[in-house]
C-alpha cells in the first residue's frame, strides 16, 4: 500500500490505552480526502478524522469513493483520478477507495446513488471485519445522501457534517434538495461548522436537537510563525515589498479575481504591494484560473501578482509567514481552515462576511470582516488593515484556543451520545 506524508500527532493525542470510555469504532465516509496523488484535497476533513482517531478508545477506518476515469493522459484535469490508489495509509489512517461511475453533466443528480451502490460491498465488508458503531459522513451532498442509503441498509446510526455550499446552496437545486432533506431527516445527528450552516439545516427540516455546531480546528504545532526574512528567501519572494496572501483552489466562489481587481486601488496607498495566490485548479465546478489571468492582464498588474499553484501542506506555514496580511474574498464558506491556519501563524486576516468567518474573526484584534464582497470593499479593508499595527503574538494565542484537539473531543462526545442513545 502507498503511504502519504506522515504528520505525527502530539504525544498526548497519539497515546493508546483506555480512558474509561467505551471504545468507539467509526467508519468515515468522505469522497473529499487526501491521497498520494492529490495530497491537499480535503486536508480539512482528514485533520478532524486524524485527531479523532488519535483520541484514546477511538478506532477509525476511511472509505473515500472516487469517480472512475480511464488512464488517458490527454485529459489532464481528470487523469489524476485514475492514479489514486485503491488502498493506502494517509497519516496513519487506513483508506479504501471504491470506484463509481459518474456521467458527465447529468451525473450530479444521480451522484449519491452511484456512490452508495459502488461503496456498499466495501462498507459491508468493513462492517464484518471492523464492526463499526456508526458512519461519520462529510458534506451533506453527495456523501451524506449516499451514506444515508448505506446506514439504512446496514442498520447503523449516521452523523453528517455540513461544511458549506453542500447545505447553503445545494438544497435549492432541482432534485438535489429532496435528497438532501431526506438525508437530514434520517441522520441520527448533524454537525454544522458554523451557526449559518446550522440555520440552513433547520431551514431544510432538520430537528434543532439533532444539530451541534462544532467548528474546524487548527494544528498549532504545524502552523506557527516562522522567520519572515527566511521564509521570503526560501520561497523566492522579495524582502522589501508588502505581501498579501490568499490560499485555495480556484473555483468561481473563491473570488480571487476580485482581489486582482482591488490591486489598482490598493496601490494608491501601497505602490509596491504584491499579491500571492497559492492553490491550483478547482477539482469540481468551473475553474476560474483563466478569468483570474484575464483580470491580471486587464488591470495591468502582472508585476503585482504571483499565481504560485498548488503547494504541499507542509510548506504552507512558510507561505503564511511571508505575508503582511491574509485576504479571503470567498462568497460561500463553512469554517475555512485557511483562516485558522493564517491566525495560527500570527497573520491578521481580511475576509468576507460569510459562513463561519465572522465567528472566527469575532475579536477585532484578529483582523477585519468586510461589509460586503466587492473589489472596492476589499481595497478599503486591505488599506485599513495594512495601516494598522497588529499584535501577532496575541493573534497566535487566540488561534491556540481553537485546536484540533478540542474539536476532536467535541466530536468524540457526540459519537458517544449517538451510540449510547440506541
Q: Do both 196 and 285 map to the same domain?
A: no
User: How far apart (Å, rounded) are the C-alpha atoms in residues 173 and 177?
Assistant: 6
Residue-by-residue pLDDT tens, the chain, 422 positions: 344 444 444 433 433 444 556 789 999 999 999 999 988 888 899 999 999 999 998 999 999 999 998 888 888 777 888 899 999 999 999 999 999 998 766 567 789 999 999 999 999 999 999 999 999 999 999 999 999 999 999 999 999 999 988 998 899 988 899 999 999 999 999 999 989 999 999 999 999 999 999 999 999 999 999 999 999 999 999 999 999 999 987 666 677 899 999 999 999 999 999 999 998 766 555 667 888 899 999 999 999 999 998 888 899 999 999 999 999 998 777 678 899 999 999 999 999 988 788 888 876 789 999 998 899 999 999 999 999 999 999 999 999 988 999 999 999 999 999 998 66
Helix (H, G, I), strand (E, B) or coil at 176: helix
Residue 223 counted as domain residue: no
Q: Do both 181 and 136 map to the same domain?
A: yes
Single out the residue of 206, 210, 212 nearest to residue 183, CA to CA: 206
Which cell is 57 given? 478508545
Residue 189 counted as domain residue: yes
Residue 364 counted as domain residue: yes
**Beta pairing class for 305-309 and 274-278:** parallel
Q: Do both 247 and 152 map to the same domain?
A: no
- Could you count the other beta carbons within 10 Å of the beta carbon of residue 233? 13
Query: What is the pLDDT, as a whole number, of residue 71?
Result: 83
Q: Do both 307 and 357 map to the same domain?
A: yes
CATH of residue 355: 3.40.50.2000
Q: Do both 61 and 201 map to the same domain?
A: yes
Which cell is 191 given? 454537525
User: How far apart (Å, rounded) are the C-alpha atoms in residues 218 and 316?
Assistant: 13
Q: Do both 190 and 288 map to the same domain?
A: no
User: How far apart (Å, rounded) are the C-alpha atoms in residues 265 and 330?
Assistant: 19
Name the CA radius of gyration of the chain, rounded.
Answer: 21
Residue 92 counted as domain residue: yes
Which cell is 246 given? 490568499
Q: Do both 234 and 159 map to the same domain?
A: no
Query: What is the pLDDT, as a whole number, of residue 422?
Result: 65
Q: Do both 188 and 296 map to the same domain?
A: no
Residue 200 counted as domain residue: yes
Residue 56 counted as domain residue: yes
Q: Do both 407 and 291 map to the same domain?
A: no
Residue 222 counted as domain residue: no
Domain count, the chain: 2
* Structural domain boundaries enclosing 137: 2-217+403-420
**Beta pairing class for 189-192 and 158-162:** parallel
User: How far apart (Å, rounded) are the C-alpha atoms in residues 400 and 219?
Assistant: 9
Q: Do both 357 and 372 map to the same domain?
A: yes
Q: Do both 177 and 304 map to the same domain?
A: no
Q: Do both 175 and 92 map to the same domain?
A: yes
> What are the φ and ψ backbone dihedral angles of 360, each rounded to 5 degrees?
-65, -40
Residue 148 counted as domain residue: yes
User: How far apart (Å, rounded) are the C-alpha atoms in residues 81 and 92?
Assistant: 22
Amino acid at each position: 500500500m502507498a503511504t502519504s506524508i506522515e504528520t505525527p500527532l502530539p504525544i498526548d493525542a497519539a497515546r493508546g490505552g483506555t480512558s474509561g470510555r467505551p471504545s468507539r469504532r467509526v467508519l468515515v465516509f468522505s469522497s473529499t480526502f487526501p491521497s498520494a496523488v492529490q495530497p491537499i484535497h480535503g486536508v480539512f476533513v482528514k485533520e478532524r478524522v486524524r485527531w479523532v482517531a488519535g483520541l484514546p478508545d477511538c478506532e477509525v477506518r476511511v472509505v473515500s469513493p472516487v469517480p472512475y476515469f480511464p488512464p488517458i493522459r490527454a485529459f489532464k484535469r481528470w487523469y489524476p483520478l485514475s492514479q489514486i490508489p485503491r488502498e493506502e495509509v494517509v497519516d496513519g489512517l487506513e483508506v479504501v477507495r471504491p470506484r463509481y461511475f459518474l456521467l458527465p453533466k447529468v451525473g450530479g443528480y444521480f451522484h449519491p446513488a452511484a456512490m452508495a451502490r459502488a461503496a456498499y460491498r466495501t462498507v459491508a465488508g468493513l462492517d464484518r471485519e471492523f464492526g463499526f458503531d456508526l458512519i461519520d459522513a462529510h458534506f451533506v451532498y453527495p456523501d451524506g445522501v449516499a451514506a444515508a442509503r448505506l446506514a439504512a441498509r446496514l442498520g447503523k446510526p449516521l452523523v453528517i457534517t455540513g461544511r458549506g455550499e453542500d447545505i447553503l446552496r445545494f438544497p435549492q437545486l432541482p432534485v438535489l434538495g429532496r435528497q438532501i432533506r431526506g438525508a437530514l431527516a434520517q441522520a441520527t445527528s448533524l454537525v454544522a461548522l458554523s451557526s449559518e450552516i446550522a440555520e440552513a439545516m433547520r431551514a431544510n427540516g432538520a430537528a434543532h436537537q439533532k444539530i451541534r455546531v462544532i467548528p474546524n480546528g487548527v494544528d498549532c504545532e504545524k502552523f506557527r510563525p516562522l522567520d519572515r526574512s527566511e521564509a521570503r528567501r526560501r520561497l523566492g519572494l522579495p524582502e522589501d515589498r508588502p505581501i498579501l496572501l490568499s490560499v485555495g483552489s480556484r473555483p468561481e466562489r473563491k473570488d480571487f479575481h476580485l482581489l486582482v481587481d482591488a490591486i489598482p486601488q490598493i496601490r494608491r496607498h501601497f505602490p509596491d504591494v504584491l499579491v500571492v495566490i497559492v492553490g491550483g485548479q478547482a477539482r469540481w465546478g468551473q475553474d476560474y484560473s483563466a478569468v483570474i489571468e484575464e483580470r491580471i492582464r486587464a488591470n495591468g498588474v502582472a508585476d503585482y501578482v504571483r499565481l504560485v499553484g498548488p503547494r504541499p501542506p507542509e510548506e504552507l506555514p512558510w507561505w503564511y509567514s511571508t505575508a503582511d496580511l491574509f485576504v479571503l474574498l470567498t462568497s460561500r464558506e463553512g469554517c475555512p481552515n485557511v483562516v485558522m491556519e493564517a491566525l495560527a501563524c500570527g497573520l491578521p486576516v481580511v475576509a468576507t462576511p460569510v459562513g463561519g468567518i465572522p465567528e472566527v474573526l469575532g475579536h477585532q484584534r484578529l483582523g477585519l470582516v468586510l461589509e460586503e464582497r466587492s473589489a472596492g470593499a476589499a481595497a478599503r479593508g486591505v488599506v485599513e488593515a495594512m495601516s494598522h499595527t497588529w499584535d501577532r503574538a496575541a493573534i497566535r494565542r487566540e488561534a491556540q484556543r481553537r485546536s484540533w484537539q478540542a474539536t476532536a473531543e467535541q466530536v468524540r462526545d457526540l459519537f458517544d451520545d449517538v451510540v449510547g442513545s440506541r
